Structure 1
């Protein structure tokens, strides 16, 4: 599965869920608040900007945002909310594409586990290096990412149920040799039919993420369990990690 096959027009049309899921105020508002503070009045660059879930409210907060996005259908969806002058977007891969005026951003951010869409360690390191290339001295790179929850030790255990709610079942299947996981999203109603979508990822442990950051010239500034600043512990299932380019502007 290629990323451009996953993030197609059908996915883009179903991505936005206003007021619910990742668009719920309790999920979205703390992220926007934290990112606005980390931008410190400067410009921000969002890798994998998608349909503008975070960028649109961040611009409304007064933070200028530029985006990089691999999927043209996702950009088309964003354009129903904000024009090119309001939120410029470069069509391309977040590991290599160049936004206008590289070196002039105070903040680069990558939310909702999206760095794991890059399926090799080399590509993930390239993403860090691309973030560093765009940042001014003292600028920050923020990553929101889940903590892998591997199957049990039994040879037959290859899957983990990560979410269950009425009408939805989420299951991850792991390939621990390649450090890959495929997320299976099953949507269903009271009938006998169900809709299955899948997405491949390369999972990253926090310590490996920190090493990637060091290779790209970053220092870890902070790590919390969520956007509200909860303490990150061994029990945390996700984290928001803030990396900083040494120096000051």
Structure 2
């Protein structure tokens, strides 16, 4: 099982306080609105459950669209931040591990966005995410995953660290363990000159799309659609990410 202590250490009060960036980054309207619109359509009038609901980036605007939303969240600090924006009556949340925690009721849609499944660091536990989604869905229900596409490792390169992004005030460096399919992302943010840089680290297990499809099969799902983004762009060999919609048998 993913350990509570580890995730509480990563997603602590400082991380929760700085997570929301209203109007910019992953909270920018051009990023957020297509995701909410697509999820609302996939719910087809039923209730939705978000794994790793966080501070409510998706859940709150989805609820405002009229979709009943519940959640599972492992980090108490992230849930506390959500509670400053929506109470338990509006968006009920179970504090727990999304591989095992259960939420009362039956849902037509379960979703796990913004690379959330990669935060689960073993293949076995990632498979359990699919099984737990299936437990919450009725026949024909959907499980939606948003995830990045891993790059092929360079066998001739000895370095174990890659600079993924470098821009003013920010550098992202990934350290990679190819055998374990593990990545640790190191986010360095730089303030004014003379001010110490801040570092935020998060661990991931990367997953190939074909591996994800097999995990889905093991839990009774079939791939319904896969696109390169929330707007429905075609997924191809050049795509750096995907939105995959899995449907539970029996619908």
| TM-score in same-fold range (> 0.5) | yes
Residue 153 of structure 1 pairs with residue 155 of structure 2: yes
- Residues 49-60 of structure 1: pairs in structure 2 closer than 5 A: 49-60=53-64
Q: Quick check: 143-152 or 21-30, which moved more?
A: 143-152
| SS of aligned partner of 2:57 | coil
- CA contact under 8 A between 1:158 and 1:173: conserved in structure 2? yes
Deviation at 1:149, TM superposition (A): 2.0
Deviation at 1:205, TM superposition (A): 0.4
Q: 2:77 aligns with which of 63, 73, 78?
A: 73
TM-score (norm 2): 0.95
How far apart in 2 are the matches of 1:183 and 1:137? 37
Matched with 2:238 is 235
After superposition, where does 1:173-188 map in structure 2 within 5 Å? 173-188=175-190
Alignment of 1:1-20 (within 5 A): 2-20=6-24
1-side partners of 2:247 and 2:186: how far apart? 34
Q: Tell me the CA shift for residue 154 of structure 1.
A: 2.7
C-alpha distance in 2 between matches for 1:70 and 1:61: 25
- Aligned pairs, number: 246
Counterpart-to-counterpart distance in 2, 1:9 and 1:194: 19
Question: Runs ≥4 in structure 1, deviation > 3 angstroms?
Answer: none
Once the two structures are TM-superposed, the CA of residue 194 in structure 1 deviates from its matched residue by: 1.0
Q: 1:106 to 1:38 in 2, by over 3 A?
A: same
- Match of residue 30 from structure 1: 34
Cα distance per residue 1:18-51 (max 9 Å; x no partner) = 0010000000000000000000000000000000
Q: Tell me the SS of whatever aligns to 2:39.
A: helix
User: Is contact 1:109–1:142 with CA below 8 Å preserved after alignment?
Assistant: yes
Residue deviations 1:103-143, cap 9 Å, x none? x1000000000101111000000010000010011100000
Distance in 2 between residues matched to 1:34 and 1:247, nearest whole Å: 22
Separation of aligned partners in 2, 1:238 and 1:20: 20
Distance (whole Å) between structure 1 residues aligned to residue 162 and residue 67 of structure 2? 38
Relative to structure 2, which stretch is displaced further, 171-180 or 159-168? Answer: 159-168
SS, match of residue 115 in structure 1: helix
Map of 1:246 onto structure 2: 249
Q: CA deviation at 1:159?
A: 2.2
Aligned-pair CA distance for 1:155: 4.1
1:152 CA drift (Å): 2.5
Gaps of 5+ in 1: none
Q: Which runs of 5+ in 2 are unaligned?
A: none
Structure 1 residues 120-159: aligned runs within 5 Å = 120-159=122-161
Say if 1:36 and 1:55 are closer, same or farther in 2 by CA, change over 3 A. same
Q: In the aligned structure 2, how far is the partner of 1:151 from the partner of 1:10?
A: 33
Taking structure 1 as the reference length, what is the TM-score of the superposition? 0.96
The equivalent of 1:98 in structure 2 is 102
Alignment of 1:81-92 (within 5 A): 81-92=85-96
DSSP 3-state at the match of 1:172:
strand
